Amino acid sequence: MRVTIFGASGLLGKALMREWSGDAVIGLGSRDADIRDAKRVQQVVQETRPEWVVLAAAYTDVDGCESNPDLAFAANRDGAVNVAAAAKGVGAKLVFLSSDYVFDGKNTTPYETGDARNPQSVYGRTKAEGEIKLLELMPDCCVARTSWLFGIGGKCFPDTILKLATSRPALDVVNDQRGCPTYAVDLARAITQLCRKKASGIVHVTGAGDCTWFEFAQEIVRRAGLATTVRPVSSQQMARPAPRPAYSVLSLASLQSLGIEAPSWRDALRRYLEQRLS
């Protein structure tokens, strides 16, 4: 199988390049192909002639999207359309990485794939509109929604907590946002399986289980053997430019229906810490 990955220099892209084996995989970073450049995207897809395209490239700075909405839509919506059009042009299938931010966070039970989109932030709107346009352009594409991504090789929550915990006796972390931490290695392995199983439609791909950011931070500090105290605070006390979903737990029924199991986020954290310290 020939695979072309856009966003190969990002956190997920690096994991995809490390984990994917047994197929002919070409990884493209932003320097190789800016997805906002339709002609360049078309050129590299024509050159690589993939059977599958994985679109992991995106503008993921949630707060940055609030102050740079034109850039956010150009990358996350219009750039996604550029990639989808190029994939369609060579008869390739597509996996598009989307986000829990397409939901409003008002649920109290896990979001199913068919639940209504109602994004509350610019980032969420760019991803929601990207989903809609891609499913119109390529009805058989696969939209893989994920959340709370962490891993080696880029900025992520556990890395930030570990760095702060070495220099501070106490950390304040929000305790009123609940979601599913997802290890980039596990997400990469799931994406590989989605391609091999010729998946289509919307699939939720996260770590199994859920927690708040406070609970996540507590577990990080505990497993790392650090003495730092983690204190729960509200979102209002830690105000950010972009609103965050209070509840963005994604149901894994769609993933399980394909015969793909998601490891628990706690086990994923253990493996992340082992990898980070190795």
The secondary structure of 159-222 as a DSSP string is HHHHHHHTT-SEEEEE-S-EE--EEHHHHHHHHHHHHHTT--EEEE---BS-EEHHHHHHHHHH
Q: Are 5 and 52 in contact (CB under 8 A)?
A: no
Which of 121, 141, 122 is closest to 131 using CA atoms?
141
Q: Is residue 26 part of a domain?
A: yes
Overall number of domains in the chain: 1
pLDDT of residue 59: 97
Identify residue 90 by its one-letter amino acid code: V
Residue 13 three-state SS: helix
Beta pairing, strands 178-179 & 211-212: antiparallel
Q: Which residues contact 155 (CB under 8 A, 6 or more apart)?
A: 11
From CA 278, how far away is CA 275, in angstroms rounded?
Answer: 5
Q: Is residue 98 part of a domain?
A: yes
Q: Which residues contact 219 (CB under 8 A, 6 or more apart)?
A: 211, 266, 269
Residues marked active site are found at 123
Q: Is residue 274 part of a domain?
A: no
Q: Is residue 240 part of a domain?
A: no
pLDDT tens for each residue of the chain, 278 residues long: 999 999 999 999 999 999 999 999 999 999 999 999 999 999 999 999 999 999 999 999 999 999 999 999 999 999 999 999 999 999 999 999 999 999 999 999 999 999 999 999 999 999 999 999 999 999 999 999 999 999 998 899 999 999 999 999 999 999 999 999 999 999 999 999 999 999 999 999 999 999 999 999 999 999 999 999 999 999 999 888 999 999 999 999 999 999 999 999 999 999 999 999 88
From CA 91, how far away is CA 68, in angstroms rounded?
Answer: 34
pLDDT of residue 76: 98
Q: Is residue 20 part of a domain?
A: yes
Q: Is residue 155 part of a domain?
A: no
Q: Is residue 85 part of a domain?
A: yes
Range of the domain at 110: 2-149+181-208+249-263
Q: Is residue 269 part of a domain?
A: no
Identify residue 274 by its one-letter amino acid code: E
Kindly report the pTM of this predicted structure.
Answer: 0.97
pLDDT of residue 278: 80
pLDDT of residue 168: 93
Q: Are 98 and 131 in contact (CB under 8 A)?
A: yes
pLDDT of residue 51: 98
From CA 80, how far away is CA 96, in angstroms rounded?
Answer: 8
> Dihedral through CA 261, CA 262, CA 266, CA 267, nearest 10?
60
Domain CATH for 257:
3.40.50.720
> Dihedral through CA 70, CA 74, CA 78, CA 80, nearest 10?
-130
